[in-house]
Amino acid sequence: MSTLPDIHDCLQPSQCIDSDHPDIVAYVQSLLEPRQGNVEKAVTLYYRVRDDIRYNPYAIATTVDGFLASTTLRAGEGWCVTKALLLAALCRAAGIPARVGFADVVNHLSTERLRATMETDVFYFHGYTSIYLDKRWVKATPAFNIALCDKFGLRPLAFDGRQDSLYHAFDMAGNKHMEYINERGEYLDLPFDEMATVFRQHYPRLFQQDAQNPGDLPAGTRWDADVAREVGSGGLQ
């Protein structure tokens, strides 16, 4: 379990949460109004990360540079960890303390390609953002964009800045979706070495090829395209 970072440190830029990057700062300034309170600002930022940054679990890097918040913003796509880091960076740039948390989850709905690559339905180090609002920490999970949810029958995750926003246990059809099985704690920044050790242990095929093109995930592969194909054939599970 991590040691919780000091709240003041959660306002400062860090290695992957590069909240002082010009692109991060400019993006925040384009979205927020000075008159907004912190809850309203955090909610605005949450929905922009959720919906403007396309979810793609195939976009997994194996170097630290691939996890920078500014890299994810520039790419316009990411997965739970990188989107959580981006939301934390945007919050810090807006003057709102934020950190990142991690849990292990069982994902009951996945694609054949992802299951073959991971060789398990357990997603270790699922990432979320923890945001300090109204004198308490609130969890936010900006992973699945609304277009993806609407298209494939997933329950979208809402966030009001007051209640935790966590994965739903079931999809719209009542199928099992996400199950939390282990809490890993909250951190000032991505514990990259710790996460990489766990990934190498549980997902060895991710590290069979070069760092920019992890094993069995060809460059340009789109998760939503795989999902669309498998949903159409009744094969998503």
Residue 218 lies in a domain: no
Beta bridge partners, 30, equal none
Residue 236 lies in a domain: no
- Domain range for 154 is 9-209
Residues 6+ apart with CB under 8 A from 206: 60, 62, 117, 118, 199, 214, 215, 217
223 within 8 A of 55, measured Cβ to Cβ: yes
The percentage of the chain sitting over the pLDDT mark of 90, rounded to a whole number, equals 58
Q: What is the value of pTM for the model shown? A: 0.88
Q: Count how many domains the chain has.
A: 1
Residue 215 lies in a domain: no
Residue 169 lies in a domain: yes
Residue 33 lies in a domain: yes
Structure confidence by residue, pLDDT tens digits, 118-128: 788 889 999 99
CATH number, position 128: 3.10.620.30
Residue 231 lies in a domain: no
Using 50 as the pLDDT threshold, list the residues of the chain that sit under it. 1, 209-217, 219-220, 233-237
